[in-house]
Structure 1
Amino acid sequence: MGLVISLVRLTWAVSYAAFSLTSFILTGFAILGERTPNRVANVVLSLTSNQYSEFPLIMFFLDLLFQSWLSVTGTFHVSPMARFFSYVNVITAAGTLYLFKRSLECQVVVENFLGEISKENKTKFKLPGVTSPKFWKQFMNPFHWPRNFTLNENIPYWTSKEQMYAMNTDGWESVLEMAVDVYRPDNVEGGHDRPVLMYIHGGGWTSGSKKSIGPLVTEMIAQNWVVVAVNHRLKTKDGYPTQLIDCKRALRWIREEVQTFGGDPHNVVVTGDSSGGQLAVMLALTPNDPAYQHGFEKVDTSVQGCLVQSAVLDLVDANDYRAANGRERFIREVALRPGFPESAENIAFLKEHSPLYKVEGTNVPFLIVQGDLDTCPVETARDFVKEFRLKSTASINYLEIPGGHHCFEMYSSPRGWYTTIATAEWLNHNFNQPGASENKIARVHELVEWWHENN
């Protein structure tokens, strides 16, 4: 019996050591946001570090619970290894508390941003903080969905000719990817002409799904926007820009059909995360370009606004901001182009599909949201905004989020929902004015509670 108890305690001690070491490393990455030369490692670290960066108190209490269990079972008393890692966890605990403190910095950043976009109203914004019960209600229940909406799934946007070509080239599974999901609030009916949010998912152009939607999409559904979530083909023999062309086909479908669901086909804002952000920006910057709409050249593929988060904005990366060589992966695995990635032809191709090099002359309003620890370098977002302001007369707003990692906005965390408040207000401020009232502007809904204080 004593041997069994010793083995159980050893198992707990080893598990605790592994948990503690992992927590220590991931907390460090969450704080520092280091980029590695390996893209896969960056993806894994981004996904795991986000758990610590966005939910630090949860990780803190999980560790505390584990330590309490080891104390109750007597493991600390007989295991020097467990005692050693308990000291390591003191450092980790300090790190997670720092991460929580840093997540609160987003409150002030967003309040300043909201004041800037509404400065003509002389409105002062005050968002709920740690003294607000609403803050803790949201924090303890981060999984939110609006209740009253209808989901119309997997609506194809191809024509019969496009269907046959895709089937013959890439098979039926590829054809099935050419579809949209429409989220229609239940109090919106056909002909209501509500603003439309066209959402393009991320996933490095070769993975991901329209089902992967974050707090912004659910929030806009709650605010009576019609949301169209778009799938594009992921792996095709033709390679990129197939994904961009598919997104334009989806926009064609919106132009022709969204009014049936209560959306306004002439008030469409495109949004996306990561690679979906690149596709969204390219969609906005190449309206009616016949190179990307063969067979439907006469369809209007312009949009009224563009909002992207954690977006890939420069494929060339001439300044080598990225630690990993994104050029090579994009040329070889996404675009499927021959030759060296650094050849003149391929660099020209990368420039042609890098939003940073396409801003001149656009008249589409933009909002760029980027975390300052993003593996899609924040320096690129800053360069894009600077270039946009030099070469375009359209408006652009920029929201840089302290401590934000790649796709942090997909998490319903304090940082995530502060950002959601900012992006939702930008959307309503710019594209929902005709039907807006003071009651809609000063709204209380399930996701967050916030209010305006007039000077």
Structure 2
Amino acid sequence: MALMDLGMYLAKSTWAVSYAAASFVTLVLSWVAITGTATRNRKINIILCVLSNQLSELPLTIMCTDACFYTWLNLTGTFQESLLVRFFYYTNIITAVGLLYLFKRSFEVQALGQKFLDQLAKESKDWIELPGPTTARFWQQLLSPFLWSGDYTLYENIPYWTSKEQLSVIKSDGWESAAEMSLDIYKPHTVEGGDDRPVLFYMHGGGWTAGSKKIIGPLLTEMISQDWIVVAVGYRLSAKAGYPTQLLDCKRALRWVKDEIRTFGGNPNNIIVAGDSAGGHMACMLALTPNQPEYQPGFEKVDTTVQGCLGLSAVVDLVDMNNVCNHDGRGRFIRDVAKREGSPDSADNIKFLSEHSPRFRIKGGAGIPFMIVHGDIDTLTPVQNTRAFVNEFRNKSNASMTYLEIPGGHHCFHLISSPRSWYTVISAGQWLTHHFDNVAPVDAAKKLQVHEIVEWGWTV
């Protein structure tokens, strides 16, 4: 009997300590989510960013989880017996106030997005209202945040290398690295080969050394529902040569898409590059360096122009001369990503960083439309550099630049399904539709021009 009592006491103590620890962590993360507090350590910032993003985008889920935990402690009698639980119960009331504030902030994007859509409507005459509490879509997304349409066909892991490139990569980096050079195609069921639908060419983030093309988020869901062809691009994450291997791989993927996408119903002359974080950086670089031989080894004469660019939480300034990054961004990129020798502040490395910073690749004259989306409390890619890029683009280029700075948005907040994400995604989707989804229907004769995928040595 004594052993049973001891066991119950230890179990209750464990639950009490767990509740206290969870309450304390949630309180701290709520503060980080509200203020955008950062440290000088990149790894700690990544952890804080991932966790605070959950609180910022899913505050009601966090509150419900806490309520379930609290109910369990009541049912087991732990609440009545533990001063620790009672103390942190009152602490959680403070946290709940913070979470409700975060939920309220997520709706600030509705006004921003609606103003943006109203401006688009003046040009297109196609007015759209963002979903609010009186609409079915609002409640579908709120109550089922991971709602995903299944009305598409997925073609997975299609390699985009040539046989010569494949052998070279296997020799230098191994088969696993060569397997990373593949893409996924999402084709809506309503689209047929030869339909010439717009193509969203999307590159995932992950600091150039991590991530997956399988993480596509609400934006790609939205565009698939609008009958766009979506291409999710994979690239080598651990090549011995380092960056710009990743960028060159994305150029190779673009080469393949231009040659083969009509088979899936996409238009090779209507490709919009997009990406988040490091993927956003490469989307901007693809858009700003078309047909440049140094980025197209072995396929220098292939046309790599695109029609538009959408950057989400994109890295646009690797130089960061004003040191607004919350960590040693230059040093990390030179050492761990580009794998270059010497000081990151040396003249040679600064030149390299400048050449691969979208901010310093902007040219005058005509260009393609850009849209940049960035959260105003991003601690991994500070918004100050993005503002400078946008201003420089508008001063140098005649092309249109649309910029949405999202209140309360952390780094890559748009990958989590939430009111803030969906208001942002719907706005971005309408921008894409406004600029690029105006192609006339394809006649039957042109559809017959679709060919089998044979040039690259495999069939689908």
With structure 1 as the length reference, what TM-score do the two structures score?
A: 0.93
Counterpart in the other structure of 1:450: none
Q: Secondary structure at the match of 1:109?
A: helix
How far apart are residue 365 of structure 1 and its match?
Answer: 0.5
Is the aligned partner of 1:286 residue 2:289?
A: yes
Aligned to 1:407: 412
Equivalent AA in structure 2 for residue 198 of structure 1? F
* Aligned partner of 1:110 among 110, 113, 122: 113
1:55-454 to structure 2, matched below 5 A, reads 55-121=58-124, 125-361=128-364, 363-375=367-379, 376-435=381-440
Which moved further from structure 2: 131-140 or 319-328? Answer: 131-140
Larger displacement relative to structure 2 (254-263 or 133-142): 133-142
Name structure 2 gaps, 5 residues minimum. Answer: 442-460
Return the alpha-carbon distance in structure 1 between the equivalents of residues 294 and 177 of structure 2.
22
SS, match of residue 203 in structure 1:
coil
Question: Contact 1:56/1:96 (CA < 8 Å) preserved in 2?
Answer: yes
Give the residue type in structure 2 aligned to 1:303. Answer: V
Partner of 2:446: none
- The correspondence for 1:53, drawn from 39, 53, 56, is 56
Match of 2:13 in 1: 10
* Distance (whole Å) between structure 2 residues aligned to residue 389 and residue 118 of structure 1: 22
Structure 1 residues not aligned, in runs of 5+: 437-455
Aligned mates of 2:235, 2:83 — CA distance in 1: 54
Q: Secondary structure at the match of 1:399?
A: strand
Q: Which moved more, 1:334-343 or 1:135-144?
A: 135-144
CA contact (8 A) 1:148 1:186 kept: yes
Shift of 1:284: 0.4
Tell me the equivalent position of 1:449: none
Cα distance in 1 for partners of 2:249, 2:26 equals 41
Displacement of 1:68: 2.3
Distance 1:242 1:121 in 2: 40
Secondary structure (helix, strand or coil) at the match of 1:118 reads helix
Deviates more, 1:61-70 or 1:316-325: 61-70
Deviations 1:289-345 (A, max 9, x none): 000001111110010000010111110111111110110010001101110010010
Partner letter of residue 372 of structure 1?
D
Q: Is the 8 A contact 2:124 2:434 kept in 1?
A: no
Q: Secondary structure at the residue paired with 1:126?
A: coil
Contact 1:35–1:322 under 8 Å retained in 2 = no
AA partner of residue 391 (structure 1): K
CA distance in 2, matches of 1:110, 1:340: 43
Task: Report % sequence identity.
Answer: 58
Aligned partners of 1:398 and 1:269: how far apart in 2? 16
Q: Which moved more, 1:210-219 or 1:63-72?
A: 63-72
Q: Is the 8 A contact 1:146 1:219 kept in 2?
A: no
For 2:351 and 2:124, locate their aligned partners in 1 and report how far apart those are by CA, in whole Å: 45
Query: Match of 2:419, as an amino acid?
Result: P
The alignment's C-alpha RMSD in Å is 1.4
Offset at residue 124 of structure 1 (A): 5.5
Counterpart of 2:444 in structure 1 is none
Partners of 2:87 and 2:13 lie apart in 1 by 14
- Taking the aligned partners of 2:136 and 2:219, their CA distance within structure 1 comes to 22
| Structure 2 CA distance for partners of 1:292 and 1:90, relative to 1, 3 Å | same
| Superimposed CA distance per residue, residues 12-68 of structure 1 (whole angstroms, 9 cap, x where no aligned partner) | 111100110111111111111112111111111111111100000111121122222
Alpha-carbon distance change, 332 to 164 in structure 1, aligned in 2, over 3 angstroms: same
In the comparison of the two structures, how many residue pairs are matched? 436
Q: Is the 8 A contact 1:157 1:180 kept in 2?
A: yes
Kept after mapping to 1: 8 A contact 2:140/2:147 = no
Question: Which stretch shows the higher mean deviation, 59-68 or 368-377?
Answer: 59-68
Partners of 1:207 and 1:124 in 2: how far apart?
A: 39
DSSP 3-state at the match of 1:164: helix
Query: 2: distance between equivalents of 1:403 and 1:111?
Result: 17
